[in-house]
Amino acid sequence: MRAEALFSLQGQSAIVTGAANGLGLAMTEVLSANGANVTMLDIDPRVIDEAARLDPSRETVRAFICDVCDPDGLRRGIEGAFEANGRLDIVCANAGKGSGSGPLTEAGALANVTGESWSGILDLNLTATFHTLKYSVPLMRRRKYGRIIVTSSFAGLRGEALVGYAYSATKAAVANMVRHAAIELSLDNILINAIAPGPFRTNIGGGRMHESSTELAFAGRTRLKRIAEPDEVKGLTLLLASPASSYITGTVIPIDGGGYACG
């Protein structure tokens, strides 16, 4: 079979959350470039401009300003994508953010993590991911087909001194939620996997990945001794979104320059 057929998303309908920047924008680009109609959801109004840049006709890439922490707004965004395309095949539950500095810093130490900041990260990284699955799955079930990709982190696979408590805990939680959901969703041929990125040069953490000291520290966590560019998430995204991954579900796949396996 030729690569075009294995990886084609022609005629399929996709949703990406956190699509205005970083990994979500790269995911949107690769899904769109390979034939999918993509609905971008993001709280950042720039999502509208990015959709227009990718598809000036607004026929194959659409965008909605949406806070994924608002369950009703999220449900409307997901159902809107379904209604516009008459189907839902692919969901990237990607929106998320960091929770500040790690446990060896003053601000990141157990004693100083506030309940408010803890809850805010749980709402976004964990609960909104749950709601994204909850509202998407019934729409995928109608055609007994689906591909769900959840963005976890290599910091959800092990302890990581460079990230905060809530981030580490939520990324571990979504990884196991993916394994758990695979049990149920496989009954309807809906495949669900997580990606566990290592350090990527995005706006996460208020842009700290663009600072050379932070970049150096995270690069040292990998075997390739560099952080990744957002485009480098495209290959794994396309694999997990496409017919090529027909026997892959319930996995958590590191994409981290060897950071988890041998960092």
Ligand X SMILES: NC(=O)c1ccc[n+]([C@@H]2O[C@H](COP(=O)([O-])OP(=O)(O)OC[C@H]3O[C@@H](n4cnc5c(N)ncnc54)[C@H](O)[C@@H]3O)[C@@H](O)[C@H]2O)c1
Between 8 and 21, name the residue whose CB sits nearer to ligand X.
21
Is 215 near ligand X (CB under 6 A)? Answer: no
Is 68 near ligand X (CB under 6 A)? Answer: yes
Q: Which stretch binds ligand X (CB under 6 A): 99-107, 178-186, 201-209, 234-242?
A: 201-209
**3 state SS of 64:** strand
Residues 9-28 that bind ligand X (CB under 6 A): 17-18, 20-24
Structure tokens at 101: 């500095």
Binding map of ligand X across residues 34-53, x = CB under 6 A, - = no contact = --------xxx---------
DSSP type of residue 233: G
Between 67 and 79, name the residue whose CB sits nearer to ligand X.
67
Applying CB under 6 A, among 13, 37, 202, 222 the residue interacting with ligand X is 202
Between 13 and 153, name the residue whose CB sits nearer to ligand X.
153
Dist. CA 9–CA 95, nearest whole Å: 22
Report the side by side order of strands in the sheet with 146-151.
61-65, 37-42, 13-17, 90-93, 146-151, 190-197, 252-255
Applying CB under 6 A, among 55, 67, 79, 188 the residue interacting with ligand X is 67
> Smallest distance, Å, CB 36 to ligand X?
19
Dist. CA 41–CA 92, nearest whole Å: 10
Neighbours of 65 (CB within 10 A): 16
Cα distances (Å, whole numbers) of residue 114 to 11, 119, 159, 172: 46, 9, 20, 20
Is 135 near ligand X (CB under 6 A)? Answer: no
Cα distances (Å, whole numbers) of residue 53 to 20, 47, 165, 197, 255: 11, 10, 37, 26, 27
Is 160 near ligand X (CB under 6 A)? Answer: no
Dist. CA 142–CA 54, nearest whole Å: 29
Applying CB under 6 A, among 78, 204, 238, 239 the residue interacting with ligand X is 204
Between 96 and 164, name the residue whose CB sits nearer to ligand X.
96
**CB half-sphere exposure, 7, CA atoms < 13 A:** 14
Between 44 and 55, name the residue whose CB sits nearer to ligand X.
44
Is 200 near ligand X (CB under 6 A)? Answer: yes
Site of interaction with ligand X (CB under 6 A): 17-18, 20-24, 42-44, 66-69, 94-97, 124, 151, 153, 197, 199-200, 202-204, 209
